[in-house]
């Protein structure tokens, strides 16, 4: 099929590239001239394992194209995906200005029947708004062109997006016509060859499904972090509690690892948006509100442990920081706990020596730009020199089995604050460390 994907951010670029990988002819559109020129040269704006190789391959195969002109993508397109950003507004709602701007452009420029797919995470009722805007523009032109609206939310995990797209556990399609359902089934047929993973529903239910999925996962994380904090108070070990409850198949082990809170581009934004959707419809979503409140507090738990150990005044203290990204496998620092912990320690006089395999540019030039008290290093061991303690915030594989003798040899004090309970199964005291983790009381 001939496809057009509007927006070359995380979702748009992965979507377009994976469809091209299956033999479709895909044109990705973006208004950012520099980004498009970079993509044409093979420079990928985000880090995602396997994405760069797949982009370069399909550009060489001439199945993946990039342009700043919508008409370049519309001339042959059968399906158009809207994958532009829906940033969070001041009130927590999703900002639809870019989605509706694209819809307006489509109404002005489409020349033949189209399937218009909302791939962006959008509030319930957005499909109706997109349809109304396109119809408004067609009416202004005095033309009658058939089109169908589809909601096809993405369920991509950062760090595993290619695998998630190529081998989906479900494909949710919301539409109101058999023509749209049939076209989307044909498009996704190569991805469901071994097992039919397609779930069809109405458009509003599909829009709601995306928000509920992310809010449910965020709820599991906040619930386990709340439990971890209680465990510390009563002298229980949350790591053992996790195993005890995870063995129940009704609960399972996914998303019940205690830590420093969730971050990234999806969970924080979508939890806020769902709370706002409820509020706009006269409902006080108490549980969802609590999920957000617990997460906000959890991001500072490790900072609190550091302050409790070293005191409120951290002048003259230096901390090695392992991990800046909100999770391993990505350079994404949006709402990462590292941002909040660094700022909390620095304002008390601390200096930070940081390392992350992928996210240091994001920290240095965006999220921690202007923080003069942080220095970036090219390896995890370099951060340890004369450090008063090491703080681990991202569970990258290269942090799993460090040389603990090297740590002790370089640090002033053998103290570790583990914000992901990475070393909870090891006897850190026997290794000669003061070890602080989430959900376990320190004597």
Tokens of 5: 């994907």
**How far apart are the C-alpha atoms of 21 and 3, rounded to whole Å?**
12
* Kind of pairing between the strands at 171-175 and 147-151: antiparallel
Could you say which DSSP state residue 62 is in? T
DSSP 431: T
**Could you confirm whether 18 is annotated as catalytic?**
no
CA 414 to chain centre: 33
Which residues lie across from 244 on neighbouring strands?
Answer: none
Instruction: Please name the helix (run of DSSP H) or strand (run of DSSP E) that holds residue 410, with its range, or none.
Output: helix 404-410
Q: What are phi and psi of 54, to 5 degrees?
A: -70, -40
Cα 21 vs. chain centroid, distance in angstroms? 23
Nearest CA to 227 out of 307, 149, 298, 311 is that of 298
First-residue to last-residue Cα distance in the chain: 64
Taking each helix axis as running N to C, give the angle between helix 267-280 and helix 203-234, from 0 to 180 degrees, rounded to the nearest 10. 110
Looking at residue 384, what DSSP letter applies?
Answer: G
Measured CA to CA, the distance from residue 127 to residue 99 in angstroms comes to 10
Find all residues with CB under 8 Å of 408, minimum gap 6, and list them: 414, 432, 433
Nearest to 221 by CA among 121, 277, 290: 290
Q: What is the rounded CA–CA span in Å between residue 261 and residue 337?
A: 7
Q: Which two tokens stand for residue 117?
A: 């797919």
* List 18, 28, 231, 266, catalytic entry: 266
Please check whether residue 326 is in contact with residue 336, taking contact to mean a CB–CB distance below 8 angstroms. yes
Task: Give the catalytic positions in this structure.
Answer: 266
């Amino acid at each position: 099929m001939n496809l057009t994907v509007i927006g070359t951010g995380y979702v748009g670029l992965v979507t377009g590239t994976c469809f091209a990988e299956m033999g479709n002819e895909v044109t990705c559109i973006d208004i950012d001239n520099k980004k498009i020129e970079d993509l044409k040269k093979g420079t990928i704006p985000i880090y995602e394992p396997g994405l760069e190789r797949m982009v370069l391959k399909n550009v060489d195969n001439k199945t993946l194209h990039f342009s700043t002109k919508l008409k370049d993508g519309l001339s042959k397109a059968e399906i158009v995906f809207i994958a532009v950003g829906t940033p969070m507004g001041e009130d927590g709602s999703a900002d639809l200005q870019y989605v509706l701007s694209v819809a307006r452009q489509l109404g002005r420029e489409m020349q033949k029947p189209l399937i218009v797919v909302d791939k962006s995470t959008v509030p319930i009722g957005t499909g109706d708004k997109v349809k109304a805007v396109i119809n408004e523009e067609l009416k202004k032109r005095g033309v009658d062109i058939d089109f169908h609206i589809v909601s096809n939310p993405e369920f991509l995990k950062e760090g595993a997006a290619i695998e998630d797209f190529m081998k989906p556990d479900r494909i949710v399609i919301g539409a109101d016509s058999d023509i749209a359902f049939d076209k989307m089934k044909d498009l996704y047929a190569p991805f469901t060859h071994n097992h039919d993973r397609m779930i069809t529903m109405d458009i509003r239910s599909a829009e709601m499904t995306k928000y509920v999925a992310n809010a449910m996962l965020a709820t599991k994380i906040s619930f386990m972090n709340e439990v971890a904090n209680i465990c510390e108070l009563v002298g229980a070990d949350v790591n053992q509690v996790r195993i005890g409850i995870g063995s129940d198949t009704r609960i399972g082990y996914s998303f019940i690892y205690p830590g420093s809170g969730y971050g990234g581009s999806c969970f924080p934004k979508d939890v806020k948006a769902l709370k706002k959707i409820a509020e706009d419809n006269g409902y006080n979503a108490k549980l969802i509100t609590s999920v957000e409140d617990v997460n906000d507090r959890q991001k500072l738990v490790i900072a609190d442990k550091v302050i409790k150990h070293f005191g409120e005044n951290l002048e003259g203290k230096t901390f090695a920081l392992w991990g800046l990204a909100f999770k391993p496998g990505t350079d994404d620092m949006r709402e990462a706990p590292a941002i909040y912990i660094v700022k909390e320690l620095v304002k008390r006089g601390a200096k930070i020596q940081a390392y992350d395999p992928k996210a240091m540019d994001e920290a240095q030039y965006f999220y921690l730009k202007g923080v003069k008290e942080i220095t970036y290093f090219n390896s995890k061991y370099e951060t340890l020199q004369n450090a008063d303690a090491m703080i681990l915030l991202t569970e990258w594989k290269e942090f799993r089995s460090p040389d603990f003798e090297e740590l002790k040899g370089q640090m002033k004090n053998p103290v570790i604050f583990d914000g992901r309970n990475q070393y909870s199964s090891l006897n850190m005291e026997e290794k000669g460390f003061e070890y602080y983790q989430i959900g376990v009381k320190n004597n």
